[in-house]
């Protein structure tokens, strides 16, 4: 068993599951979405991105691209969260819906990355 591939798969899958955990729930209800879960999703997504830098294949480039998309969307969500928390009205349902929408886009990018990883495993077996 290749420990590098295990670590790579672990962080890709963890990034997707943390993002899914944050994304789940009604979009406009801030009490259903935890800021620490978003922070954890960002940190793990960034770690997964760093792990993808070593792969020089075409598939590796697509892995890196999907990871960068997820990073940008999650960080944008965190910026909106920080900004809205400083507003006089605080976090509104509209702000939270925007953050959750960005998280949904990142989740899609994470799922594409997981599918690519699985397809790479399947083709390597043949």
Per-residue pLDDT, 8: 87
- Identify the pLDDT of residue 125: 65
Note the pLDDT of residue 14. Answer: 95
Tell me which residue range forms the domain holding 13: 3-125
Counting the structural domains of the chain, the total is 1
Q: What is the pLDDT along the chain (126 residues), one digit of tens a residue?
A: 788 888 988 999 999 999 999 999 888 888 889 999 999 999 999 999 998 887 788 888 898 999 999 999 999 999 999 999 898 888 888 999 999 999 999 999 999 999 998 988 888 765
Position 41 scores a pLDDT of 96
DSSP state of 92: -
pLDDT, position 2: 80
DSSP state of 54: G
Q: Which of 15, 9, 68, 7 is nearest to 42 (CA)?
A: 15
């Amino acid at each position: 068993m290749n420990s590098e591939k295990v670590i790579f798969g672990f962080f890709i899958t963890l990034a997707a599951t943390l993002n899914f955990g944050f994304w789940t729930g009604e979009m406009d209800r801030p009490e259903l979405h935890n800021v620490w879960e978003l922070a954890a999703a960002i940190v793990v997504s960034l770690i997964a991105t760093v792990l993808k830098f070593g792969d020089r294949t075409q598939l590796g480039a697509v892995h890196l691209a999907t990871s960068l998309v997820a990073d940008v969307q999650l960080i944008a969500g965190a910026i909106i969260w920080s900004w809205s928390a400083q507003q006089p009205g605080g976090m509104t349902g509209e702000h939270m819906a925007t953050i959750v929408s960005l998280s949904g886009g990142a989740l899609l990018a994470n799922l594409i990355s997981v599918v690519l990883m699985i397809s790479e495993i399947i083709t390597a077996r043949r």
